Amino acid sequence: MASKSPIGSSAGESARRRARNNATYRREQRRLAPYEEIARLVIRHRLERGLTQRELAERMETSHSAISRIESGRHKTSAQTLQRLADALGLRFVMGFESGPEESPVRELVSV
């Protein structure tokens, strides 16, 4: 019998187990995936610039909690907020549409 870690399973292992056993959990994971991707981008660019969440919030003239919500990857973010984030991080905000198969999508993008 395999021994169990004294601290239990990791968050990733627990999430994979829940996803295997629960269709509702899988749907929620798919729903949140785009927001989690945005969160990872924001965090990466913020850290590359050596900014804290509070400093980024000041640049955007918003609250620290607003940045925390975006970086949690669990909340919708408006196009207007994404534009303000891009400006505060010195980036260009790009929007677009995608068509075709997921394996080789056709992307039409515009810099806003």
For residue 39, what are its two tokens? Answer: 């969160």
3-state DSSP assignment of residue 63: coil
Q: Which pLDDT belongs to residue 29?
A: 80
Residue-averaged pLDDT of the chain = 89
Q: Which pLDDT belongs to residue 5?
A: 52
pTM: 0.76
State the average pLDDT over residues 65-83.
95
Surface-to-core class of residue 56, CB atoms within 10 Å of its CB (0-12 exposed, 13-18 middle, 19+ buried): buried
Per-residue confidence band for 9, with pLDDT thresholds at 50, 70 and 90: low
Q: Which pLDDT belongs to residue 8?
A: 67
Domains in the chain, CATH or no CATH each: 11-111 (1.10.260.40)
